[in-house]
Amino acid sequence: MTADEMTGGETTGAPRLWILTHDAVGLRNQAVGLAEHLGGAFEQKTLNLTKPWRWLPGHWVPAAHRKLTADSAQLSAPWPELIISCGRLGATAALGVKRASGGKTFVVHIQNPQLPLHLLDVIAPPAHDGLRGANVFPTRGALHHVTPEKIAAALAEQQAIHPDLAALRARQPILGVLIGGSNATATLTPAKSQQLIAQLMTTAAQHGAHLWLTASRRTGDANLAAMRAALAGSGHWLWDNHGANPYHAILGAADYLIVTGDSVSMVSEAASTGKPVYTLDFDAYSGRLQAFHQRLQHEGVTRPFAGELARWHYEPVNDTPRIAALVRERLAAHQARFNADRH
């Protein structure tokens, strides 16, 4: 992906919209999901701050939108009417643009901006962040770009690639497995990867099920190699970062979803389907991530994976349409106030 990429849509009546994040797929997908629900065209701008500015609190950085590394997208007038930012550096740059625009640019931040909350217009953090404020609207999980339409399209594409998929789904349950990787507090190793696969294959054998697994960029080559070796000759499917990712198709085809617990985004996306979602742990997690899992388990959304399979019902986790509606309302009010003040 380039640092500055236009993504399609009709522009008539839509605000000029920028997405500001650094180069992290999880952050970008959350912002894109919200932008897509708002409709219209938007520009994705990948950025990073130079040192020492990246180490300072975001509201301390003067003209933060101009303190970017050479490979960042350039941020210059004309300023957008709306910014969706995600991640601390995205919030810092977004605040710089808002200040440069004289307050005209409306900033929506996803996650904790790690700067004074009143400086931004709308903040949509996951509930486990514990943020409170008049402009804070917590979500059950991560915002995301998974939709029924994307799932249906991806499933049709995969059925063309795998002509036996329909017959496979008819004769045995599909266990869709979404595998993440190491994060700040959890480490995935080849040994742990083999243990995960062994646990999954035991469950598949016990229930006459087929595994369809997809890895993420964070999984890492060594862990993927360990998984391929453990799955060799089994007939189960593993996507290992080559070719088109069947992620959305797996969400559509699976009867049960099993997700490594390192990623709030992956668990949230799986839970948007309403299907049984199990979390599979390979290490300890941070307090915030533990709070997220405990909350969804308490709500009856997810269950820890222990080898058994069951069906249950819950309210799907998808706050993206709600936040999009709120942004439209608040943006309109902001623009009306801004125009009135100028006259």
Q: Among residues 337, 334, 330, which one has the least CA distance to residue 124?
A: 330
Q: Among residues 257, 245, 253, which one has the least CA distance to residue 164?
A: 253
Residue 163: predicted pLDDT: 87
What pairing do the DSSP bridges indicate for beta strands 82-86 and 17-21? Answer: parallel
CA distances from 82 to 90, 107, 139, 170 (A): 13, 6, 20, 46
Q: For the segment 31-56, what is each residue's pLDDT rounded down to a tens digit? A: 999 999 999 899 999 999 999 999 99
Residue 14: predicted pLDDT: 57
CATH class (in words) of the domain with range 148-304: alpha beta
Give the domain ranges of the chain: 4-143+320-342, 148-304
Cα angle 231, 235, 240; round to 5: 55
Cα–Cα distance between 171 and 191 in angstroms, integer?
Answer: 32
Spatial neighbors of 81 by CB under 8 A, at least 6 apart, are 15, 16, 17, 104, 105, 106, 331, 335
- Give every residue of the chain whose pLDDT is below 70, as ranges: 1-14, 343
Residue 9: predicted pLDDT: 39
The H-or-E segment that residue 232 falls in is none
Overall fold of domain 4-143+320-342? Rossmann fold (3.40.50)
Residue 1: predicted pLDDT: 37
Total residue length of the chain: 343
